[in-house]
Structure 1
Amino acid sequence: MSDGNTDVPQRPTHIVGMAREAGLPEQVPAEEYEACPVTRTLQMLGDKWTLLVVTMLAQRPHRYNELRRRVDGISQRMLTRTLRTLEEEGIVTRTVFPTVPPGVEYALSERGQELLVPLGGLADWVVRGTAA
Structure 2
Amino acid sequence: MKRLLPLLLICAAPALADSSLPPARWANEQLPDARQEAQAKALMEELRCLVCQGQSIADSNAELAGDMRALVRQRIAAGERPEQVRSWLIERYGDWVSYRPPIEPLTWPLWAAPLMLLLAGAWLLRKRLVRRGR
Q: Which has the higher helix share?
A: 2
TM-score (norm 2): 0.24
TM-score (norm 1): 0.24
Q: Which has the higher strand share?
A: 1
